[in-house]
Amino acid sequence: MILPILRHGADALHTPAAAVPEMTPAIDRLIDDMIQTMYAAPGIGLAATQVGVPLSIFVVDVSVGRNAADLMVFINPEFVEREGMQLEEEGCLSLPGFNATVARPSRAVLKGMNRGGEEQVVEATGLLARAFQHEMDHLDGCVFVDRLRGLQKDLIVRRIKKLARAGKW
């Protein structure tokens, strides 16, 4: 089932997620729905907070469905290592139409459960390291505009407010 994706400003998107206590059939279904929603968007990642579920789960696929091995599910993830810095344009399914250059680590090692309940440790660089950090931010209730400063941030926030006033957000 394709789930509605919350947009910047929705309370649930700005609230930190809680740990998943145990895998249940309902959580398994949620993960299926999140994968389907991510591909339908299309996007390279989706966090549970973006579909209004305050649990520590995200899905990511930098190939957007072209390579089955690229699909990863992380439950209760945490960073083991982060280093370096990359500056690239970034977007978000919760901020359709907006992009900005965001500083992210160039390498990240993430640890968490896969959907089979087993621990996985994944080392990422480049786009995947960026995606990990972006989705981890969502689980902290943080959206990429929150990481911007000054004029760049003001501009996006002002345009969102204008769209919201016009009923287009």
Q: Which residues bind Zn ion (CB under 5 A)?
A: 92
- Catalytic residue among 78, 83, 90, 135, which? 135
Q: Smallest Cα–Cα separation from 3: which of 59, 64, 71?
A: 59
For residue 75, the minimal CB distance to Zn ion (Å) is 18
Instruction: HSE, CB side, 13 Å, CA atoms: give it for residue 63.
Output: 8
For residue 119, the minimal CB distance to Zn ion (Å) is 25
Taking the least distance from each CB to Zn ion, the nearer of 23 and 39 is: 39
For residue 142, the minimal CB distance to Zn ion (Å) is 10
Taking the least distance from each CB to Zn ion, the nearer of 23 and 79 is: 79
Q: Smallest Cα–Cα separation from 55: which of 36, 70, 38, 76?
A: 76
Place of tokens 């309370």: 11
SS3 22: coil
Taking the least distance from each CB to Zn ion, the nearer of 20 and 131 is: 131
SS3 165: helix
Rounded to whole angstroms, the Cα distance separating 162 from 160 reads 5
For residue 45, the minimal CB distance to Zn ion (Å) is 7
Note if 119 is an active site residue: no
Taking the least distance from each CB to Zn ion, the nearer of 65 and 118 is: 65
Rounded to whole angstroms, the Cα distance separating 109 from 112 reads 10
Catalytically active residues, by annotation: 135
